[in-house]
Amino acid sequence: MRFSRAQGHPGWVLSVLLFLTTMLTVWGFSFSCFGFGRGRRKESTVRKSHNKLLYINMDGFRWDYADDQPGKLPGFSRFLKDGVRAAWTNPPYPTLSFPSITTLATGLYPEEHGIVGNFFYDKDTKEVFSMYNPFATGMSKWYTAEPIWTTATRSGRRTALYFWARCDVTINGVHPEVCMPFLPLTDAIFFRHNLDKAVDRLEEGFDFVQVYVAHADAVGHRHGPDSRQRKRAIRELDEALAHLMNLLDCRGLTDEVNIVIVSDHGMTTTDPKNTIQLEIDNFLDTNLVENLADYGAFMNIKVHPGNVEKARTTLTGE
């Protein structure tokens, strides 16, 4: 998912600076466990009454990205060899970041959990949900379905989330024990750092940790899903995944932690020479419309009362 570069939101800028300062402070300790070596694994201090879960969302990671660079992705190769893989999935509609991520967190379709787009409109209060506005997305009114971290917390499980969108919003009176909310830091180095923190939490006795990374999505949108830059981005995610598995090995956590990797959507290549951009103003009298929300593959149109049929006729030409 993409957020604005903190323009007009100094709080985001401060958060980024604080995060960078913290990262630089602790970075020297991130690799300390490798002093044990692969052959001298540290005994885990984690309770063994049940396994832990690390839930990772790689935003924009298309279904075939783990396969299109044979021999160059040892991390994904090991992960797939040691685990299982879904043969296929049907994504929710719309296949946009906020609706899909909320589906991954709640198990509900967008029409049931209420996050129906990256942008949408409340006709009763005239308020707008906008993915580029952290104040708007932070309003608890939007979140009517319970996410998995809330359920886990209510069940007595210790939960921690890193860069997972709106984990900082209190839902049903419950807040996760640890939440590093989303920051517009998409480089793989931040993903690796968050994986280090996730393993630290699991070793401390946390039961459920979620980590979000936007690296594949950001590079794919910028350069295209078939670009060499995108392929390099996947190799960087692969290095972070290999690092994670080595870290679990040397901390003695490999048999204690299950890992689930998901993605909210993929993407496809479009040729600018063959792409026609359509402006809604050319097809619809905006005087008929109260609000237009979202753009691209689909749009939410809130028509003034009494104008629905006229708007439909204008758009369809019928």
Range with top average pLDDT, 39-53, 213-227, 303-317: 213-227
Do 192 and 225 reside in the same domain of the chain? yes
Domain containing 194: what range?
51-269
Range with top average pLDDT, 8-22, 34-48, 173-187, 200-214: 200-214
- Specify the higher pLDDT residue, 259 or 31: 259
Q: Is residue 282 part of a domain?
A: yes
Least confident of 1-5, 145-149, 219-223, 272-276: 1-5
Q: Is residue 246 part of a domain?
A: yes
Do 55 and 124 reside in the same domain of the chain? yes
Q: Is residue 28 part of a domain?
A: no
Distance between CA atoms of 136 and 119, rounded to whole angstroms?
10
Do 197 and 305 reside in the same domain of the chain? no
Supply the mean pLDDT for the chain. Answer: 86
Task: Give kind and range of the element (H or E) at residue 45.
Answer: none
- Specify the higher pLDDT residue, 88 or 100: 100
Q: What is the pLDDT of residue 57?
A: 97
Cβ burial, residue 178 (10 Å; 0-12/13-18/19+): middle
Look at residues 269, 288, 308 and tell me which one is the last residue of a structural domain.
Answer: 269
pLDDT digits (tens, 9 = 90+) for 24-63: 333 333 344 544 334 445 555 555 568 999 999 999 999 9
Do 69 and 206 reside in the same domain of the chain? yes
Do 93 and 231 reside in the same domain of the chain? yes
- Give the predicted TM-score (pTM) of the model: 0.83
Q: Looking at the 3D structure of the chain, how many domains does it have? A: 2
Q: Is residue 42 part of a domain?
A: no
b/e 261-292 (16+ beta carbons within 10 angstroms → b):
bebbbbbeeeeeeeeeeeeeeeebeeeebebb
Read off the CATH number of the domain in which 154 is found: 3.40.720.10
Count Cα atoms within 13 angstroms, Cβ side, for 39: 0
Do 148 and 227 reside in the same domain of the chain? yes
Do 258 and 293 reside in the same domain of the chain? no
Do 301 and 191 reside in the same domain of the chain? no
Sign (positive/negative) of CA torsion 73, 76, 82, 86? negative
Do 79 and 220 reside in the same domain of the chain? yes
Q: Is residue 132 part of a domain?
A: yes
Per DSSP, 289 falls in state: E
- Which residue, chain included where needed, has tokens 């040691």? 82
Do 83 and 207 reside in the same domain of the chain? yes
Q: Is residue 3 part of a domain?
A: no
Q: Is residue 13 part of a domain?
A: no
Q: What is the pLDDT of residue 47?
A: 52
Q: What is the pLDDT of residue 22?
A: 36
Do 244 and 259 reside in the same domain of the chain? yes
Q: Is residue 18 part of a domain?
A: no
- DSSP letters, 264-275, are S-------GGG-
Do 212 and 84 reside in the same domain of the chain? yes
